[in-house]
Amino acid sequence: MREVSGPIGMFDSGFGGLTVARAVIDLLPREDLVYIGDTGRYPYGSKPLDEVRSHAVELATSLVHDFNASAVIIACNTATAAAADALREELDVPVIDVIAPGARALVAATRSGRVGVIGTVGTISSGAYPAAVETAAAALGRDVDLTAAACPGFVEFVERGQTTGDEVTVLAERLLAPIVDAKVDTLLLGCTHYPFLARTISDVVGPDVVLVSSADETAFAARDQLAAAGLLRATGTGVRRFHSSGDVDVFRDLGSRLLGPELDRTEPWPITP
Ligand code: DGL
């Protein structure tokens, strides 16, 4: 295991993981953080899972070897579906993913047992959520009926900074129809980009449907795993660094709008040719 002084490493295909970064900064303000947004190769959701796995291994390895990360948070559902097992095998630091914590929160929150999850094509077609929800339901002694829907196009809106408006609403109405038809009472946003679209999603599914974002749950899971491994700091204020494999100015400008003032600078993260 790494020494306690290393930062928490996190990665996503782009801006979505910033929802998780926000939750981690709020919950663990003493920890240093290094975030890589792989905007040079986004989106992950429409790519074959093998390709996403290879990007995820490269990013996580860089976080540990180049930045001395003491733990890695896979701040992306698609990368979790593709690579969580591989990363746990390959890395000698704790690996925290977004799918298991989100599934647990979904099952814990439902009253009727009719639940939904939305995510990228890669995440939904991987079957990772039905498996995680089944495990969570068994652990919590609940019976749940899960409806899953892929939402291609949502991530692209977020990456353009377009999080509300008619175009997003029209697409959401079409893609969320199976969720509305299934009369779920709780809906998991199974893509870290989707909390940025929460207003539109809530308008479409209705105010009675509880939206669950995996960001907070992942931050709690990170806190628990880091505490168990003796990797949490007792004093100080964390330093946060943000890197992008794409245009660093675009990442800083949109990223600071989405995350907040902590993201005032973005450094390059070069893709290995
Ligand atoms: N934010 C990512 C996720 O949670 C994926 C977005 C993408 O690149 O398609 O799945």
Do 107 and 210 belong together in one domain? Answer: yes
Atom of ligand 1 nearest to the CA of 14: 8
Q: Count the neighbouring beta carbons within 10 Å of the beta carbon of residue 14.
A: 26
User: By three-state DSSP, how is residue 205 classified?
Assistant: helix
Give CA–CA dist 194/19, Å, rounded.
9
Q: Between 233 and 12, whose confidence is greater?
A: 12
CA distances from 96 to 88, 116, 146, 217 (A): 9, 23, 24, 11
Cβ of residue 43 lying under 6 Å from some atom of ligand 1: yes
Give CA–CA dist 177/179, Å, rounded.
5
* pLDDT tops 90 at residue 8: yes
Q: What is the CATH number of the domain that holds 42?
A: 3.40.50.1860
Of the residues 214, 230, 247, the one at which a domain ends: 214
Query: What per-residue confidence (pLDDT) applies to 4?
Result: 54
Query: What per-residue confidence (pLDDT) applies to 70?
Result: 94
Query: What per-residue confidence (pLDDT) applies to 1?
Result: 46
Query: What per-residue confidence (pLDDT) applies to 2?
Result: 45
Residues tagged active-site:
76, 191
Of the residues 194, 214, 234, the one at which a domain ends: 214
> Domain containing 21: what range?
8-97+216-268
Do 130 and 141 belong together in one domain? Answer: yes
Do 86 and 25 belong together in one domain? Answer: yes
> Span 151-179, mean pLDDT?
96
Residue from 35, 73, 77 whose mutation best tests the ligand 1 pocket (most atoms within 8 A of CB)? 77
Cβ of residue 44 lying under 6 Å from some atom of ligand 1: yes
How many domains does one find in the chain? 2
Of the residues 192, 214, 236, the one at which a domain ends: 214
Residue from 10, 11, 12 whose mutation best tests the ligand 1 pocket (most atoms within 8 A of CB)? 12
Do 245 and 208 belong together in one domain? Answer: no
* pLDDT tops 80 at residue 154: yes
Instruction: Answer yes or no: is 2 within a domain.
Output: no
Instruction: Answer yes or no: is 273 within a domain.
Output: no
**Token pair in block for residue 243:** 């890197």
